[in-house]
Amino acid sequence: MSVLDSPRLRGRPVAPGDAPVLAVLFGEPATLRWSADGARPWDAARARAGAEAHAAHWAAHRFGLRLWEDAAGPAVLAGLQFCVIDGRAEIEASFAAFPDRRRKGLAGEAMAAVVAEAPQIAREVAAVVREGNRPALALLARLGFREVRAARGARLLRLGVPA
C-alpha cells in the first residue's frame, strides 16, 4: 500500500529526505493561505520536522501523506492521516499542489487514488477546508465528500467509505 500509481503520477510515502521539497511547497504564500498552519512559511527546520513526522506516521500506521511525482518532478502532496477534529480522532484527507503544477488536474488525480484506497484504512474520511478555498471544495465534492458544517473560518466535509 505504500506506493500508489495514477495515470500520470506515482505517489510514495513522504520520507525525511523530502524536507527541502516540503520547504518549497509550504514556503509558498498561496499554499500557506489554505493550509491548516498557514501562519508562517516553513523554514528548513519546520520542513525537516514535518517530513520526519509524516515518515513516522507511515512507520506507525502504514498509511499517510504521499509525495506525488511525474517526470517533471513533485506535483502534489496528498493522502490520509490521523488528526483530531473537535476533540475527536479522525482520518483526514489532505492535499496541496505545487504552485507550478496547479490547474492541471493533478491534485484531483492524486486524491482520486487516495479515495480509492480509503476503504482499506477507514469507514469515514474527513476533510477540513478553509473558507473561500473554492477549488478544494469543488475537488472534494467531485470525489463524493459532503459538507457537514462550517465553523471558525473552515468547512468540515465527510466521505462515507463504502465497505
Domain ranges of the chain: 4-160
pLDDT on residue 79: 96
pLDDT on residue 114: 95
Q: How far apart are the first and last CA of the chain?
A: 18
pLDDT on residue 134: 92
pLDDT on residue 162: 60
95 φ/ψ sector (left φ>0, alpha ψ -120 to 50, else beta): beta
Can you list the residues of the chain whose pLDDT is less than 70?
1, 32-34, 36-39, 161-163
pLDDT on residue 41: 74
Pick the CATH number of 4-160 from 3.40.630.30, 3.40.1080.10, 3.30.70.1230, 3.90.550.10: 3.40.630.30
**Residue corresponding to grid cell 465527510:** 158
pTM score: 0.91
Q: Measured between alpha carbons, how far is 151 from 163 in angstroms, rounded to an integer?
A: 29
